[in-house]
Structure 1
Amino acid sequence: MTALVQKPQPWESATSDAPMRLRDILKTLPPEVFLKDRRKAWLKVALNVALVGLGYWGLAVAPFYLLPVLWIFTGTALTGFFVIGHDCGHRSFANRKWINNLVGHLAFLPLIYPFHAWRILHNHHHKHTNKVQVDNAWDPFTVEYYESLPPLLRWGYRQIRGRFWWLGSIAHWAKLHFDWTQFKGKQREQVRFSVLFVVIGAAIAFPTLIALTGIWGFVKFWLLPWLVYHFWMSTFTIVHHTRPDIHFAPVQEWDEASAQLFGTVHCEYPRWVEFLCHDINVHIPHHVSTAIPWYNLRKAHQILKENWGENLKESKFSWELMQEITDYCHLYDGSKGYQKFPQ
């Protein structure tokens, strides 16, 4: 494919001198990347169920010294459940809404994640990506807001923006997704249903698991794989939206096209992680359009890279990457960008 422009700047349109619009970006993508493939979607569901089942079987029969490996495997496979539910939330899994809702609720059930609450809040993130104090996914606190917080909240924010980033997803899950009173109208009813669905599921499953396997069985079969899942959720989401050169803008200066294309990060993970988590790391085309199913993201990313490659944000997962993020990307100043916490 021939590049549309030689060296496009983030604020320029690919086809004219006018400011770039999101529709300009979408026009560079072929129609086939938006097409849903029923076979690919359901085959991945079947494979994911088999892999999670394999992980639980391994936990049941393996000697104790293999348990850490199996916790990592099972928790990562459970993250694949989340990615399937993620597509359902964006209606890119199936054409029929009721199928997306059904599969989304079932995929989120082992994670005790209310589907509709997540769907609504996550779509808010996509609509307001990198908009200061409006985005709800790893948007950094401003210096002024941080300094206005009481000491305990400042301490908690420092931990989650530091070496305890892997707990961020748990805090986000617990704080935002179970209070249906923050929603209105039809959304409130949907969220209440999703909350009751997972709460009743947990009220049945957890006592049954403890009765059959004891407290250690609860820890071994659910809690530790769940913590691994949240490690990946926290890691994926902070890496998707955090780098020293990522720009956040106040409402009056925010630009949709620039935020979606140049404000998110593509990160390469080990192949086994990408396989089990269904390429959730291919994140830039997902922000250009949530209608792209997960199995078409790589093709869409390649096309975006051919046209805006020098400006796209790309990283490779490593401890050094996480050090850079957690050592430096703490607070945000509109004129200076990211800053470290004050000493």
Structure 2
Amino acid sequence: MACRLAHSSLLFVGPQRRPNEGNRIFPQSSTSSGSYLLKWEGLPQRRIRQKECFISFRQRKIVKAVAVPVAPSPADSAAHRQQLCQDYGFRQIGEPLPDNVTLRDIVETLPKKVFEIDDAKAWKSVLISVTSYALGIFMIAKAPWYLLPLAWAWTGTAITGFFVIGHDCAHKSFSRNKLVEDIVGTVAFMPLIYPYEPWRFKHDRHHAKTNMLEEDTAWHPVKQEEFDSSPILRKAIIYGYGPFRPLMSIAHWLIWHFDLKNFRPNEVKRVKISLACVFAFMAIGWPLIIYKTGIVGWIKFWLMPWIGYHFWMSTFTMVHHTAPHIPFKSSEEWNAAQAQLNGTVHCDYPSWIEILCHDINVHIPHHISPRIPSYNLRAAHQSLKEKWGKYMNEATWNWRLMKTILTVCHVYNKEQNYVAFDELAPDESQPITFLKKAMPDYA
């Protein structure tokens, strides 16, 4: 039973009793639950000796304590969560997960079949990605200039499927043969100029430390000291976490994956092999494209679809782990089950995106166990819904969801989770105020 003191003074009323008899606190009914407010009424202040903190009982009065139920915190109420859903563009915001639930408790509720690797389904995903990419290249070659954006969108989404295949390989959920996984993962990442092993090492840490303030290697909130460090950096951060955020995975790609200093000594050898593969593709593939189609062809056939891929990389990652109600926590406060189940977002996209990207946005089961193959994620999600559904965050992609992320989820604050740039620096946050006015607000 939690109590709050409504007033620091004690009240003595009623017939004389021994002082310690007034120290008990009882709920108003045996069926009531929740918190209680302890109220002390009517104690004459003159009877308190300030120096001795002693209460005189010469008035022949004793304490009468009244326990009054206190309403639950608004963040824990269904009505408040429903209001947040409407404000943020969510379909459901999950209840807080109890502290005594462990990640293992959740994993053990999943059926064993969702962990099974099916070679036919795995190679079917490869066939889907190769075919859709080939179709995209054909569309780019044949489309008139005014239809090129549609062709680029399709092709960029198709090569995002390559990334998801490599992603399964990195999590050892593509094949029972680990050498096959390493080869397929490396080849799938090469057209993206993404070094497979450096990404794998960093991504494993993202799963181990999801939404941990310092240790997560995916997205972080901006720290106040970073925001205040210099006017130039502050302006770059405002643009990077505002209008340019749907392409900021390009900066993440450059910063995290090509510097050997970012890796442990026992990882460096494999990192070098991946870097050599990527540079080989650049040295052979790019000149070949330019030789056949010219610089304009390189832009049309490689660069624009690659930018489309990074749009999805940025957008998917943002939506999976960023919302005003989802906290980043220090390592001392972090809880694995809460971060993976309660701190990950399931988001539904149009069917063609889900097919080309192999259900990567069915993301909660992937964080409960990365060993679940992408083609089993929907079955795993359904199982989680049946047993843990009230704790899960779910959305269907909409403009309000994106607008909330781009205009609210900025600077880390322990109490509020996030503080928006335009609250901290309104005179410098024109990009954020522009987004608030220009972006649609449909949910």
Cα distance in 2 for partners of 1:40, 1:267 equals: 23
Q: Which amino acid in structure 2 is aligned with residue 98 of structure 1? A: L
C-alpha contact 2:286 2:298 (8 A) present in aligned 1: yes
* SS across alignment from 1:244: coil
Residue of 12, 17, 21 corresponding to 2:102: 21
Cα distance in 1 for partners of 2:214, 2:335 equals: 15
| Residue of structure 2 equivalent to 1:140 | 221
| Residue of structure 2 equivalent to 1:48 | 129
Kindly state the Cα deviation for residue 155 of structure 1 after the two structures are TM-superposed. 2.2
Residue of 374, 389, 397 corresponding to 1:317: 397
Kindly state the Cα deviation for residue 218 of structure 1 after the two structures are TM-superposed. 0.5
1:71 aligns with 2:191: no
* SS across alignment from 2:418: strand
Count how many residue pairs are aligned between Structure 1 and Structure 2. Answer: 331
| Residue of structure 2 equivalent to 1:103 | 184
Greater CA drift, 228-237 or 179-188: 179-188
| Residue of structure 1 equivalent to 2:357 | 277
Kindly state the Cα deviation for residue 326 of structure 1 after the two structures are TM-superposed. 0.6
Kindly state the Cα deviation for residue 185 of structure 1 after the two structures are TM-superposed. 2.7
| Residue of structure 2 equivalent to 1:264 | 344
C-alpha contact 1:133 1:141 (8 A) present in aligned 2: no
Identity among equivalent positions (%) equals: 50
Q: 1:275-315: CA deviations, max 9, x gaps?
A: 11111111111000000000111111111112222221111
* SS across alignment from 2:304: helix
1:120 aligns with 2:201: yes
Residue of 248, 251, 274 corresponding to 1:194: 274
Cα distance in 2 for partners of 1:193, 1:186 equals: 13
Kindly state the Cα deviation for residue 151 of structure 1 after the two structures are TM-superposed. 2.9
* SS across alignment from 1:290: coil
Cα distance in 2 for partners of 1:224, 1:329 equals: 28
Kindly state the Cα deviation for residue 177 of structure 1 after the two structures are TM-superposed. 0.5
Residue of 298, 313, 328 corresponding to 1:248: 328
Greater CA drift, 246-255 or 301-310: 301-310
Q: Using structure 1 for the length normalisation, give the TM-score.
A: 0.93
Gaps of 5+ in 1: 1-6, 14-18
* SS across alignment from 1:132: coil
Kindly state the Cα deviation for residue 204 of structure 1 after the two structures are TM-superposed. 1.1
Q: 1:69-109: CA deviations, max 9, x gaps?
A: 11110110000000000001111111121111100011001
1:166 aligns with 2:166: no
Cα distance in 1 for partners of 2:417, 2:258 equals: 33
* SS across alignment from 1:81: helix
* SS across alignment from 1:310: helix
Task: Give the direction of change, closer, same or farther, for the CA distance of 1:180–1:38 in structure 2 (3 Å limit).
Answer: same
Q: Which amino acid in structure 2 is aligned with residue 238 of structure 1? A: M
Task: Give the direction of change, closer, same or farther, for the CA distance of 1:9–1:314 in structure 2 (3 Å limit).
Answer: closer
Cα distance in 2 for partners of 1:138, 1:247 equals: 12
Task: Give the direction of change, closer, same or farther, for the CA distance of 1:142–1:181 in structure 2 (3 Å limit).
Answer: closer
Gaps of 5+ in 2: 1-77, 79-93, 427-443
Greater CA drift, 129-138 or 305-314: 305-314
Cα distance in 2 for partners of 1:161, 1:175 equals: 16
1:181 aligns with 2:261: yes
C-alpha contact 2:97 2:391 (8 A) present in aligned 1: no
1:231 aligns with 2:317: no
Residue of 31, 51, 56 corresponding to 2:112: 31
1:153 aligns with 2:233: yes
* SS across alignment from 1:141: coil
Q: CA RMSD in A?
A: 1.5
Residue of 196, 203, 211 corresponding to 1:130: 211
* SS across alignment from 2:390: coil
| Residue of structure 2 equivalent to 1:3 | none
| Residue of structure 2 equivalent to 1:340 | 420
Cα distance in 2 for partners of 1:339, 1:132 equals: 15
